[in-house]
């Protein structure tokens, strides 16, 4: 029967061409949207690698002040630690998690190198973000006097530079020594990829960057106001800005979610258009093919056979469109376009195919049912 | 083979009720070639549709091979049409987007037969009606007589016991009409039971028996 339907559709390809193009276009858009969704969801399933609840980032800007800035900063750190609301404090470079700031550099070892995000932090960074060590340890302030500067890397960097070797105690090309390995570190939020990360002891303490602090639960905006006021009086002429990491995380999420939502809406409209087109074309088709339906019923087709035929015809049309779409879609995983894992594209292809077939089935169901109810004696007499 | 007892068919709309057939009693024996005649609108096609299980009577019994079919499901009726009955129509009712061979295969699509078997059976049927050289053609490339021969091949491809022909020569000139009648006579000689609606007295005379209808009633 399928062979018969393929022949029938092929012989009517001229009248189905527009529909095939429309389904093809929907497939391509769906493939794009599904790739984006699959990529983001795949990332989302991977843990961040750190805790951000109750963590604030304080951005201090010296402006024109050049007098004893290091001392002032040390006093500020001491003051912040003294608040009963504050659990942990750390100083780090400006690229704190969820900020829109990034620093990266090529890290190399022997003949291997990887582009890695670089974070300069003090010894308390691990505690503020509750980072779990996978192996080794976090660096200490006492490490500042070591001959080889200690660094912590994430597993992604370890995989790139050391493969299956244990990186602990190994030296990099610039004589820095790996003292610890952590698992993930997704500083741009759950929807982003787990990129290679590299942590280095900030020594001597910089007067730039940020202070990150972990607060006790229940700490609210009143404390923020008090903190800003206190710091403002200690750092005259400086700019003090406090950000909640939960808010910054939401901003990062929006960056990933907005394109997904926009493309999903576009795909939704396109699918609605296809659905209406399919529905209309089938209704017209059935009206034009009443005689054929009558003949088939006379030749032994049951109501179910007729209904199945019209649904199957739509599947055949959809299959033609999908096959053309696949010629384009399979280039993406094959050529690893946009540097995404090929699995993302394969999943997107499968999802797009399922959605197209689902849509076609839903649209074809009602008109096909009407076709099945046509009385053969009446239509044969009419024609 | 086909028995109709007290068949009545009423077409009803919201405003009007039309009695298309009234108290029809017919018994078609195996191997018979029966023609049905009557003026236009007297109910000939309705009667043929009821015999072919394409339409239901308002009243009365239909027996195919001594079995009542009134309570049959859609599936059982379709199977009976497919296995036992072949249809030939005045306006051929071929599917223009399918080749001659594919058109002839249609009844076999609704059986569990292989593609190869269908192809062979369709070729055989077309050879029988003298159209083996037109298998790859499409209906709109054929003459009226050739189209009707394709329709006959389609009717006989499943080797049915009964052929119901509704004015099979109605759209053809007399030469073509005679050609088609000869094919039907040949099929009947081979054992096929045929019921044919016709307006042509001379053709009806060549059949075993004539049933005349007038205003939905069987005259004789």
Q: Percent of chain A having pLDDT more than 90?
A: 58
Query: Cβ contacts (< 8 Å) between A4 and chain B: which residues?
Result: 102, 105, 109
Whether A302 and B75 lie within 8 Å, measured CB to CB: yes
Q: Where is average pLDDT lowest: A150-154, A220-224, B175-179?
A: B175-179
The Cα–Cα gap between A146 and B145 comes to 104
CB contact under 8 A, B54 and A298: yes
Residue A226 has which token pair?
Answer: 């008090």
Helix/strand/coil percentages in chain B, nearest 5: 40, 25, 35
* 3 state DSSP class of A220: coil
Number of domains within chain A: 1
Alpha-carbon distance of B183 to B173, in angstroms, equals 16
pLDDT at A295: 92
Could you tell me if residue A218 is inside a domain?
no
Q: Euclidean distance between the first and final Cα of chain B, in Å? A: 19
Does residue A143 fall inside a structural domain? Answer: no
Residue A383 has pLDDT above 70, yes or no: no
Contact A295 B54 (CB under 8 A): no
CB contact under 8 A, B106 and A299: yes
Is A226 within a domain? no
Residues of A in contact with B163 (CB under 8 A): none
Encode A140-156: b = buried (16+ Cβ within 10 Å), e = exposed: eeebbeeeebbbbbbbb
- pLDDT score, position A177: 94
Confidence band for A130, pLDDT divided at 50, 70 and 90: very high
ipTM associated with this complex: 0.90
pLDDT lower than 70: segments of chain B: none
Q: Place A325 in a pLDDT band, splitting at 50, 70 and 90.
A: very high
Chain B contact set for A7 (CB, 8 A): 98, 102
B139/chain A closest Cα distance in angstroms? 13
B141 in contact with chain A, both atoms CB, cutoff 8 A: no
pLDDT level of residue A324 (50, 70, 90 thresholds) = very high
| Domain extent for A360 | 2-45+251-382
> Do residues A200 and A138 touch, judged by C-beta distance below 8 A?
no
Please tell me the predicted confidence (pLDDT) of residue A371. 87
pTM equals: 0.77
Confirm whether A350 is domain-assigned. Answer: yes
- Min Cα–Cα distance to chain A from B167, Å: 12
Out of A4, A303, A375, the one facing B109 most closely (by C-beta) is A4
- pLDDT score, position A337: 85
The tokens of A30 are what?
């769906």
Query: Per the domain annotation, does A99 fall within a domain?
Result: no
Best of B9, B54, B84 to disrupt the A interface (most A CBs within 10 Å) is: B54
Residue contact A299–B81, C-beta within 8 A: yes
Mutate to test the interface with A, among B53, B108, B110 (most CBs of A within 10 A): B110
Task: Give the residue from A22, A35, A37, A40 showing the smallest Cα distance to A349.
Answer: A35
| Contact between A8 and B98 using a beta-carbon 8 Å cutoff | yes
Q: In this model, does residue A146 exceed pLDDT 90? A: no
Q: Is residue A242 part of a domain?
A: no
Phi, psi of B38 (to 5 degrees): 160, 160
Q: Does B98 touch chain A (CB under 8 A)?
A: yes
Q: DSSP labels for A220-259?
A: -HHHHHHHHHHHHHHSTT-EEEEEEHHHHHHHHHHHHHHH
- Domains with residue ranges and CATH for chain B: 29-56+67-218 (3.40.50.300)
Nearest to A224 by CA among A78, A85, A81, A74: A85
Chain A residues with CB-CB distance to B107 below 8 A: 299-300
Statement: residue A263 has pLDDT above 80: yes
For residues A121 and A235, the model is more confident at A121
What SS3 state is found at A224? helix
Rounded to whole angstroms, how far apart are CA atoms B35 and A214? Answer: 100
A301-321 pLDDT tens trace:
999 999 999 899 889 999 999
Q: Please tell me if residue B58 touches chain A, with a CB cutoff of 8 Å.
A: no
User: Do A7 and B109 count as a contact with CB atoms less than 8 A apart?
Assistant: no
What is the per-residue pLDDT across A22-80, written as a single tens digit (0 to 9) for each? 899 989 999 999 999 999 999 999 999 999 999 999 998 888 888 888 888 888 999 99
**Is residue A33 one of the residues assigned to a domain?**
yes
Query: Taking 80 as the threshold, does the pLDDT of residue A382 lie above it?
Result: no
Rounded Cα gap, residues B22 and B6, in angstroms: 8
Whether residue A355 lies inside any domain: the answer is yes
8 Å CB contact of B91 and A383: yes
Task: Please give, one letter per residue, the 3-state secondary structure of A164-203.
Answer: CCCCCCCECCCCCEEEEEECCCCCCCCCCCCCCEEEEECC
pLDDT single digits (tens) B45-99: 899 999 999 888 999 999 998 889 888 899 999 999 999 999 998 888 999 999 9
């Amino acid at each position: 029967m399928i062979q018969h339907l393929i022949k029938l559709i092929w012989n009517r390809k001229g009248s189905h061409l527009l529909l095939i193009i429309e389904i093809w276009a929907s497939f391509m858009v769906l493939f794009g949207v599904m790739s984006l969704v699959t990529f983001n969801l795949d990332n989302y399933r991977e843990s961040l690698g750190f805790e951000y609840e109750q963590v604030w980032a304080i951005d201090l800007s010296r402006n024109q002040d050049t007098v004893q800035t290091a001392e002032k900063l040390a006093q500020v750190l001491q003051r912040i630690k003294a608040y009963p609301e504050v659990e942990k404090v750390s100083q780090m470079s400006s690229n704190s998690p969820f900020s829109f700031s990034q620093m990266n550099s090529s890290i190399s070892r022997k003949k291997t190198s990887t582009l890695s995000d670089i974070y300069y932090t003090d010894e308390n960074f691990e505690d503020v973000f509750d980072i779990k060590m996978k192996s080794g340890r976090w660096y200490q302030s006492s490490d500042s006097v070591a001959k080889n500067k200690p660094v912590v890397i994430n597993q992604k960097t370890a995989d790139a530079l050391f493969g299956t070797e244990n990186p602990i105690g190994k030296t990099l090309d610039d004589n820095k020594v790996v003292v610890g390995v952590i698992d993930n570190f997704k500083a741009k939020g759950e929807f982003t990829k787990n990129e290679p990360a590299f942590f280095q002891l900030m020594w001597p303490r910089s007067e730039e960057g940020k202070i990150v602090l972990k607060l006790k639960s229940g700490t609210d905006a009143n404390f923020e106001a008090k903190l800003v006021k206190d710091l403002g009086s200690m750092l005259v002429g400086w700019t003090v800005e406090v950000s909640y990491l939960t808010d910054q995380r939401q901003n990062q999420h929006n960056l990933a979610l907005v394109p997904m939502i926009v493309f999903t809406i576009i795909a939704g409209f396109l699918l609605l258009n296809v659905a209406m087109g399919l529905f209309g074309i089938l209704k017209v088709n059935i009206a034009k093919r009443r005689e054929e339906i009558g003949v088939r019923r006379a030749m032994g087709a049951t109501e179910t056979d007729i209904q199945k035929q019209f649904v199957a015809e739509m599947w055949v049309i959809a299959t033609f469109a999908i096959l053309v779409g696949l010629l384009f879609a399979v280039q993406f995983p094959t050529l690893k376009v946009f540097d995404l894992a090929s699995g993302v594209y394969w999943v997107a292809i499968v999802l797009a195919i399922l959605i197209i077939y689902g849509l076609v089935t839903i649209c074809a169901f009602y008109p096909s049912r009407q076709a099945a109810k046509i009385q053969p004696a009446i239509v044969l007499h009419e024609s | 083979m086909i028995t109709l007892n007290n068949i009545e068919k009423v077409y009803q709309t919201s405003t009007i009720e039309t009695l298309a057939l009234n108290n029809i009693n017919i018994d078609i024996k195996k191997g018979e070639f029966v023609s049905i005649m009557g003026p236009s609108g007297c109910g000939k096609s309705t009667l043929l549709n009821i015999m072919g299980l394409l339409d239901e009577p308002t009243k009365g019994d239909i027996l195919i091979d001594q079995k009542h079919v009134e309570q049959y499901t859609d599936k059982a009726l379709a199977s009976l049409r497919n296995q036992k009955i072949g249809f030939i129509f005045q306006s051929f009712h071929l599917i223009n987007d399918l080749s001659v061979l594919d058109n002839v295969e249609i009844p076999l699509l609704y059986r569990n037969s292989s593609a190869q078997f269908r192809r062979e059976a369709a070729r055989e049927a077309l050879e029988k009606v003298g159209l083996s050289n037109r298998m790859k053609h499409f209906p709109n490339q054929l003459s009226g007589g050739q189209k009707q021969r394709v329709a006959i091949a389609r009717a006989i491809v499943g080797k049915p016991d009964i052929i119901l022909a509704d004015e099979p020569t109605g759209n053809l000139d007399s030469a073509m009409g005679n050609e088609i009648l000869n094919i039907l006579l040949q099929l009947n000689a081979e054992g096929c039971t045929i019921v044919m609606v016709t307006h042509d007295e001379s053709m009806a005379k060549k059949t075993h028996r004539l049933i005349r209808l007038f205003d939905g009633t069987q005259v004789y």
